[in-house]
Structure 1
Amino acid sequence: MSFDEHQVNFQSLIEKATDIVVILDSCGIFRYVSPSTEGILGYTSAETVGQPVENFVHPVDLPAVQGTIAAALAQPGVSQRLSDYRVRHGDGSWRFFDAVTTNLLDDSAVRGIVVNCHDITERRLADRVLIERARLSKLEAEVGAALASGGSLSEVLQRCTQTIAGALQVPFVRVWTYNREARLLELRASAGQHSLVAEFPTYIPIGASLVGAIAQSRQPYLTNCTATDPNFEARDWLDSEQVVAFAGYPLIVDDQLVGVMALFGRRPMVSAEHGALGWIASVLAMAIDRAWAREALMSRREALLFRLAGQIRQSLDVEVVLQAAVQEIRSLLHVDRCLFLNYCPRPVNKDVTFLEQSYWEVAAESAQGGLPSFVGKQLHGLAAGVAPLLLQWEIVCTDEVVRPAAITVQEFLAQLSAGAALILPVQGSRTTFLGAVACVEHRGDRIWSESEVGLLRGVCDQLAIALDQAALYTDAQDKARQARDQADRLAQALDELQSTQMQLFQSEKMSSLGQMVAGIAHEINNPIAVVHGNLKYARQYLAELLRVIDTYRSTYPEAHEAIDQLLRDIDLTFVRQDFTKLLEAMGLAAERIRQIVLSLRNFARLDRAGMKPTNLHECLDETLTLLRHRLEPNGRFGGIQLEIDRGELPLVTCHGGQMAQVLMNLIGNAIDAMESIDRPAILKISTRLLSNGPQSIAEIAIRDSGYGISDDIRPHLFNPFFTTKPVGRGTGLGLSITYQIVVENHGGTIDWTSDPEWGTEFVIRLPVLLPLPPSCRT
């Protein structure tokens, strides 16, 4: 092959090569670069040819490259290998290469040092990723070991921060936990450099500073440019510590913030490190949440025992205490069902043993939604095998029992369609065996922890105390109830006796008053009848005398001087006019006296009339006649305006005298309520007929404009002997007797409404046709 052909073949070979092929002179100056250089390093031939190698090789790796060239010059034809050196890319980044350098200066076709460069950048990055992954995996494993090593929450977090600081070689790692009540982040662990206190204090409000902002946004904050980041103000500290990177992560579990983790780094952090730190943040959040859950469990256990003790002291109600206990236990232990079982021995069959006849009854239950209720259910499979164990204060647990009783437990579980159970006895100190608490799982087996057994022991002790005290309390209550019942019966009998005596006295007084009124009315009626009857003749005689005087004056117009003087002295014209008025006034007064006497006689007759059809309007008129003087102005009292709205009322079957007494009491009370008010006194009385199916109802409403009935008086309104009037003005029986007459004697109703703005209204409703009870017939 000729020289030219050899040279052409060599050049064709290197131009087709995928690796970079360069030819250097003995001084390390590029004489030739293959076309692949532009694709791999971004340089054209014009940018490289004539340039020394030191313009492209990393300063750290340049001595090794120069040494390789020197070795090639010393050994022509012998290939020199160099691995893992860096060459600057056209974009300023560094690429890694392996190279084979051969001195072909003596080759007439080449006359240079040939360097075959293979790009290993991707392989190096892959190796670095694997190394980094191994390092971060080790970090994750060490953090997991720190979390599993136990201790308090602060101790666990402190070990984790120290592990992170050591593995990542960072100067600053801190973990804050979130106090929900105070809305503050509280520092719980730190490692590395602690001099940066002002910007990252022990307590940080939500939203304050960068850490508070991370908690508020619940998003990580990552940067590799702390020097130019406006969120960092401690420039001197960043410079002195050569800090360039920051990573902050919110600690979140089930969308609930539990804390924040933050750290600084002296070198930029890569995505793999961010991924590992994100995982660590997640496991720290779960560790904090679990620690809080354990603390809450212990707190709830103490709270449960405290609440049970409080309920025992307060209510001593067994049902309340048992129900509260099973509900709290099920919620605290997260079981499907919690039962309280009563032990019921039944020795009735001599051929069957005592325990075989006994059974357990579910007295209280708390079950998960959707499960059937077992309250009242009798369980027979538990008695014979398990009762002796519980009577000896032993615990029955499905994952521990290996004695013959285990078969009976399985029968018990089968009755409840359960997979696991924990049963503890409840036995009082003053009573026989009382019962047991059973925690039941329906979804499969369960291993019961010592803390769960300890919790149930404490609850059962409290329940035993509750049942003992309840038994004593029940006995005391029974005795107290018997004493109260006897005292109540005696008090009721005494009240009834006093009421009957007073009513008899009132009835006798009313009867005597009726007789007296009838007698007085008769005595007054005779003389007033004379006055009333003679007024007619007095008017007639006056008219005749005046006619005689007029005749004299017309016949003798010129009277004697003595007669004229007498007429002037007596003022005959005035006497003539005024005497007529006097007779009219005397007539009205006599008629008023006659009407009052008539009302008194009617009132006396009504009291003896018994049940019969009665005109209630006449009863109302008679009552108003007797009370009319109380409606008129008197001194400072301006009087009461009477407004009556009479509806159409048929005759009502009732006791007229008693109804008159009812009207007298209610109208009298209304007048009393308006005697000292500073607004217009108006008494409104209305009557109307109501329809109530086949029965008609007569209604009488009496309304005053007083200040109403105060709240403290309302409950006692119809109580016998209760009065707000001064001594001597009221007996306290008016409304009590009114209620008895209307409701008990006549089968009616009496309702009332009161308001300080407009006054008080009493409404009486009576059936028009009342079936007469024997006690009311006369």
Structure 2
Amino acid sequence: MADASIDKTTERETTERETDSEFDETDLSALQKDRLFRSIMANVADLIAVIDAQGYRIYNSPSYYRVLGYTSAELKGTWAYDKIHPDDQAQVLEAAAETLKTGVGKKLEYRMQHKDGTWRILESSGSVMRDDRGDVKNIVIVAHDISDRKKEQWERRRAERALEQSRQSYKDLVRREEMLNRRLASQIRNSLDLKTIIATAVNEVQDLLLIDLCNFFWYVPNTDPPEFQLVHYAVSHSSLANSVSYPLSRLTRVGQRLINQEIVQIQSIYTSSELDNVSRTILSESGFTSQLLVPVKTRSQKLGVIVAAHCQGSRPWSADEVELLQAVANQLAIAIDQAELFDSAQANANNAQAQALLIEQALADLQKTQSQLIQTEKMSSLGQLVAGVAHEINNPVNFIYGNLNHTNRFVRHLLEAIALYQKNYPEPVPEVAAFLDEIDLEFLQQDLPKMLTSMKIGADRIRQIVLSLRNFSRTDQEGRKPFNVHEGLDSTLLILQNRFKSYGDRPAINLTKRYGDVPMVDAYAGQLNQVFMNILSNALDAIDEAHADKNITSEISIITESSPPTEVNQQPMVAIRIIDNGNGIPEDIRKKLFDPFFTTKPVGKGTGLGLSISYQIVVEKHQGRLECFSKVGEGTEFRIEIPL
């Protein structure tokens, strides 16, 4: 009996729902036959749906099918909440029940499934339809798709978060730069004691990077087997175990990379491909889980290693940390060279003749070392500053550039809407007509798209400049790499382009580029860019000095070409020729051009280091050639040759 009663009740409820639906559908059907109603519904962008009190669909507007991808047959008569995201169904059902009870609609935001399986975000409001007795029969839902707007909001928030992270990274970079240049560099230069220099560097690195342990090892090749011997270490707490030496025979892969002067990064000893099982066991037993190893090579060919170690889980070493430790290694190598030169000079003080020769050589080496130190510090600071500034500029520029497309689209839509109003309502009310005359609407419609195009061109230009700054400030922490000479020259010229323009009475300087078909060279990219900058800056200075009061066409030419092997050059070279039409250089001055601290410029205008450093980079670092050819009154040519 109970089952029969339930069946009858269910049958009665179904019959009532079908009766109500037929009533509503009859009303809607009559409406739908009206041409005006059909025309309105076909052009309405909002999604309109009518559902009965049980939640079944009675009517969906054409836009409903367009936005969600379904056909009329797929949705007609189905339960209205089956396409709503499971996490959003409860709030929608609760709102529908409240609307049926109170007759008052509620504004909602929820996700509805597209036919292709994706989710669209809808914002809807509800109202009710009543019968002749005033009872609520149906709910009318009016919704619009806000998925694109939500996506833009998410992208904007993500860009803002990235900008904030960039600001914090820049602050950390400035703090580390201050440590490197003010604290560490000054401390290790103020001492000529080798132990003090190494201890200072190790302690500062451990403190700055907040690592568990920092070591310095000397590589000793004449032991059997060769090994790395510990010189000094700094720890965060005294309980850390530490081995006195690492036998190279047991750390084969890592040791060989260090001997090749390569930086070794081990994020986790358990997953790193740098380690074999034996090496992994040795490090694990010593308590190390993550390491960053940077080699230090001195002029006397001694090899040291700075080891930053972490003892609690994996640690991904950031590019800033690697760059910082590489800069510390460079500073440390120079300081060790100075200490060794000082010790060498003291050891030979008893022999007057030998002492004089050694002091002369030591002074020459020290002068060169000092020039390297000054230039290294300057370029390190400049490179990090330029890279930091380029990174800081890049984020907001990308944010502006990315939003220009949306702005252009929105403005185009607004102008189209205004055009439609002008077409359909050609005679506006006096107040509107007066305002349109005041703002000069016709000029605004023509000029606004041009303004947006100009803004986009400007943003593109800033992006190109930032890219050139980043290319110019590249560090050489990973050694030699294939280098595009033309790309390096163009990046340098972009930075110097303001000096080629006319100013005051001085006309613009003509630049001629004749680039040949030259291959990539294996080089230190950042250092070659430094050479190009020094030589081009000198050429511009020479032209400014020569043509200051003369009506002469100023010219600089840059020529690149491949140079086959000769008796002088035993291997093929890439030649870069930089030619100016300045006053030229007298022979007695030309012979001293590459001497450290030699300059013909007045005090405060030059240090005499640019060409000296350039010569060391080309000849000593790249085994190339740097030559100067000049005729007084005709101009000067610098010829750089880099072996392939």
Q: Given the two structures, how large is their TM-score scaled by the length of structure 1? A: 0.35
Q: Given the two structures, how large is their TM-score scaled by the length of structure 2? A: 0.42
Larger Rg over CA atoms: 1
